[in-house]
Amino acid sequence: MARQDDGGAADRRTFIKAGAAVTGVGALSGCLGSLTGGGTTTLQVNSPAAEGSVHGDAGAWIGDIVSEETGGEVEIEAFRNSELGGQIESIENVSSGSLDMYVIPYALTGTQYKPAQVFDAPYLYDPENPYEDIYEKTDPQENDVAKQVVDDLVSETNIRSLGSVVQGTRRCTLNVADGDEPPVNPSELSNYKMRAVPIGVYEQALKGLGAETTNIDFSEVPQALATGSIQGQENPYNIIRSSGIWENQNTVLETDHQNTPLAIIINEDVFQGLTDEQQQIFYDAVREVQPKATETLNSNLEDHREFMRDNGLEIVSPEDLEMDKFRSAARQRIRDQFPDLIETIEDLHGNGYPAE
């Protein structure tokens, strides 16, 4: 919840939280409408990721810009490693107003409003320039499809997305048995049981790639890989490395099936408590950090690959995979499982999101 420091006045956060608990979210609007009447408004942003990653640092980067551009009238206090709550809890808290902002993949926001998952559909973005394509297609001020999805998200959940940064490109990791060749198409990948993120579009994307899937908590993945109860999982390189997943895997398939946009979400009442100028500063701050996010991911990519190779993992590049079959199967799976979202996905894709 936003708070205002006004010449030593009491912290508003506890008061507003208590008011929300008693009278409901609707009471927040009146409280927040006066936030910009003087002093400094301080917002809190949470992230599940660690410092040193785009996911963990994006809130702080945006905060630096907002503070400078508002002359210190609005400050953002960044928290990492789920200090202010877990993923679903934090999304619900942004909706209720007990958390101001959160940085999270769009698909998880889809737990509150299903159509928000469209931004995480597999093979949605330009494979030659996916990150720039993400920025354009998730910008609610520039892209008509994104604007409609975000407007509906606001109406349904009281959550507004200001745009996105990128988490990275998702790849599959596996334990391939000695003497076996790595799978290169969905039929061959069907011989592997893999952990799927327990969110609709993520799970169905992995099923579309051919894998048998199981849902387990992320914290349990290293142990499940070590015991052999699963043979693989999927994540961006930075998470594969930082989580220690690589220690129990011997193969990386660069299926590049999802380029994950991290939505910068804010409680709508908090957002409406800002002036028009301050609101635009928030939108512009998200755009301003996007090149930094791209540079951070790209500059680390070859280092991650080298780390994997140095630790004995085989990397199978897209050139050595039957990418057309992976792409076709994954898109068809999404078509079959999310018929109500396909029109929006097609509009986002721009070329009809063809399964063939």
CA 106, CA 319: separation in Å to the nearest integer?
A: 29
**Which one, of 95, 90, 74, lies nearest residue 3 by Cα?**
74
Q: pLDDT value at position 19?
A: 35
Q: What is the pTM of this model?
A: 0.88
CA 95, CA 161: separation in Å to the nearest integer?
A: 12
**Which one, of 145, 65, 116, lies nearest residue 261 by Cα?**
116
**H/E/C letters for each residue in 10-59?**
CCHHHHHHHHHHHHCCHHHHHHHCCCCCCCEEEEEEECCCCCCCHHHHHH
Positive/negative CA dihedral, 342, 347, 350, 352: positive
CA 284, CA 206: separation in Å to the nearest integer?
A: 34
Q: pLDDT value at position 38?
A: 60
Query: How does DSSP classify residue 97?
Result: T
CATH class, 170-259+312-341 region: alpha beta
Question: Which H or E run contains 194?
Answer: strand 193-195
CA 138, CA 340: separation in Å to the nearest integer?
A: 19
Q: pLDDT value at position 242?
A: 86
CA 270, CA 274: separation in Å to the nearest integer?
A: 7
CA 258, CA 202: separation in Å to the nearest integer?
A: 9
Classified as helix, coil or strand, 262 is: strand
Phi (first) and psi of residue 246, to 5 degrees: -60, -25
CA 274, CA 190: separation in Å to the nearest integer?
A: 51
* Mean pLDDT, each 10-residue run in order, the chain (356 residues): 52 33 36 54 95 94 98 98 94 98 95 96 97 98 98 98 97 97 98 95 97 92 96 95 94 97 98 98 98 95 97 98 98 97 97 89
Around 99, how many Cα atoms within 13 Å sit in the side-chain half-sphere? 26
| Pairing between β-strand 212-214 and β-strand 193-195 as defined by DSSP bridges | parallel
Query: Distance between alpha carbon 80 and the CA centroid of its chain, in Å?
Result: 14
Q: pLDDT value at position 282?
A: 98
The residue type of 221 is: V
Hey, where are the domains in the chain? 170-259+312-341
Q: pLDDT value at position 3?
A: 60
